[in-house]
Chain A
Amino acid sequence: MSKLLTRRKLIVASVATVASASGVGAAIHFAGRYGLIPPDHTGILGVGKTLTYASHRLLTSGQSLAREFKRSEVSKVHPVNGVPPDNETYRAWLANGFDGWRLTVDGLVARPMSFSLDELKGLPMESHITLHACEEGWSYIAEWIGVRLSHVLDLVGTRPEARYVVFTPFENSNNRVSRVLWSSIDMAEALHPQTQLAYGMNDEELPAGHGAPIRLRLARQLGYKNTKYLSRITLTDDMAKANDPARRGPWYGGI
């Protein structure tokens, strides 16, 4: 009797092990195929980051819209983290209204282009009143005015193999972490209707502290993913180029 039970237990255990191993294998295969693995998936913390990213991407696959607020709900205080670039060029640009500044869009696109601030302002304008939350815990509501990123990507012609969009700001020696705090997002976030290249905030020009002349505005991700002081946007299919190992926070900031 006990022998039978042992054999039965053994069979059940082996079947369960094989089933769960193949289940995990199938899940990894499926996740890789449908773009559910984030660039920072390595290491033990990568397990949690991958589970979070994959579950969020499955749940938000319908391009769900972040909550929008009424004009009366705009916050009175809009705190700023970090300090604007301290170089001569940036100060001159601030003084002359960014005359001579250009935003380069290149990489996996049909027609690499660069835009002046006026050219970006000439594109269809959109404004969204959304919540901006910092990973430290504070938050505010503001109106963000700018052009939809997907509109700019349409102009340059995104190639179908593009998987990530990399945002590079000017060099900023004021940054404690790195001189260039660059960031990247996946195509789902890049093509989202609320993802903006913002040049205005609350009916004003984007202030220097908030990333003038242009900052990336992601309504569905935390503040640290909203790269300020943009100078270049590059499309890539290379996961390694989308990952910044110097960053200690998670690559996916929808958390």
Chain B
Amino acid sequence: MNYEPARTSLNEATTAPRHSAVVRITHWLVVLGVGGLIFSGVGILISHPRLYWGETGAVGAPSLIDLPIPFIIGPSVWQRPIHFLFAWLLVFSGLTYVVAGLITQHFRRDLLPAKTEMTWKRIVSTISDHMRWKRIAADEAWTYNVVQQMAYLAVIFVLFPAIVWTGLAMSPALMSVFPWMVTVLGGHQSARTLHFVLSSLLVFFLIVHIAMVFLVGFTSRVQAMITGRVPQARSAR
């Protein structure tokens, strides 16, 4: 494998913060927001675990997906305000992260793949290395590979906005102001189904993300995201 040298040298990494303060703070606020949204989102979903396409859908009408869980009515009423509180937290911290990321060039420096990396060969080899559980050098484990960069960019700029969009598209009041937001999706129930599918994709991303953090060293990565510092003894991992 002809890897390029790590962008951050070992000495630099121990002095300059690995993650800036705004990245660290907004990361954990987003963790809190997404955690609360998944918890309350499941609470809302289980009161009617059937999904439909189009404007309408109810028991007695044809469904698209019947989730194999029982109808549990009740939690959705009191979990709805919890869902919206965490949604506001997510929107505020997410916007702070994106605006700060654009100003500080965080996206361009850390997440935009280099032109030389953007090749199919590179992408396929990165994926196949991971699939084969190939150990990577300590240096490379501290840089983002091209697949990782594209995954982060897709989650930040496609998945999160799409989840917020499909969530807003279920609001009868907002859709009186922006009706096109729901009609382009195919209707109220389509928006609900897409909200569920996109949120499931986010959960899938989170499972992979957390699994990767465990594989490369949970304590050192979490420490880096809290303090910004990379532990000195990391090469002895």
Chain A contacts to B: CB under 8 angstroms: 44-45, 47-49, 51-52, 56, 59-60, 62, 64-67, 69, 73, 75-77, 79, 131, 133-141, 219-222, 224, 248-250, 254-255
Is B214 part of the contact surface with A, judged by Cβ < 8 Å? no
Knowing A75-B61, A131-B56, A219-B172 touch, does A59 contact B177 (C-beta < 8 A)?
Answer: yes
Chain B contacts to A: CB under 8 angstroms: 44-45, 47-48, 50, 55-61, 73, 76-78, 80-82, 84-88, 170-177, 179, 182-183, 188-189, 192
Minimum CB–CB distance for A71 against chain B, Å = 14
Is the beta-carbon distance between B176 and A48 smaller than 8 angstroms? no
Q: Knowing that A67-B175, A133-B170, A137-B76 are A-B contacts, what are 17 other residue pairs whose CB atoms are under 8 Å apart, sorted by A's residue number? A: A45-B81, A47-B85, A48-B81, A48-B86, A49-B85, A67-B179, A67-B183, A75-B58, A131-B188, A133-B172, A136-B73, A137-B44, A137-B47, A221-B172, A224-B77, A249-B78, A250-B84
Is the beta-carbon distance between A64 and B81 smaller than 8 angstroms? no
Is the beta-carbon distance between B173 and A131 smaller than 8 angstroms? no
Q: How far is the CA of A254 from the CA of B168 in the complex (A)?
A: 11
Is the beta-carbon distance between A59 and B174 smaller than 8 angstroms? yes
Q: How far is the CA of A250 from the CA of B81 in the complex (A)?
A: 6
Q: How far is the CA of A59 from the CA of B175 in the complex (A)?
A: 11
Minimum CB–CB distance for A80 against chain B, Å = 10
- List, sorted by A's number, 19 A–B pairs whose CB atoms are closer than 8 Å: A47-B85, A49-B84, A66-B172, A67-B175, A67-B182, A75-B61, A77-B59, A79-B58, A131-B56, A136-B73, A137-B76, A139-B55, A140-B56, A141-B56, A221-B173, A224-B77, A254-B171, A254-B173, A255-B171
Q: How far is the CA of A92 from the CA of B50 in the complex (A)?
A: 38
CB neighbours (8 Å) of B45 from chain A are 137
Dominant SS among interface residues on chain A:
loop
Is the beta-carbon distance between A66 and B176 smaller than 8 angstroms? yes
CB neighbours (8 Å) of A51 from chain B are 84, 88
CB-nearest residue of chain B to A50: B88
CB neighbours (8 Å) of A221 from chain B are 172-173
CB-nearest residue of chain A to B77: A249
Minimum CB–CB distance for B182 against chain A, Å = 8
Which 9 pairs across A and B sit closest by C-beta, in order of nearness? A254-B173, A48-B85, A137-B48, A138-B58, A77-B60, A248-B78, A64-B176, A136-B47, A249-B77
CB neighbours (8 Å) of B58 from chain A are 75, 77, 79, 138-140
- Residue in A45, A134, A135 whose CB lies within 8 Å of B85: A45
Minimum CB–CB distance for A67 against chain B, Å = 5
Minimum CB–CB distance for A166 against chain B, Å = 20
Knowing A67-B179, A79-B60, A139-B58 touch, does A220 contact B173 (C-beta < 8 A)?
Answer: yes
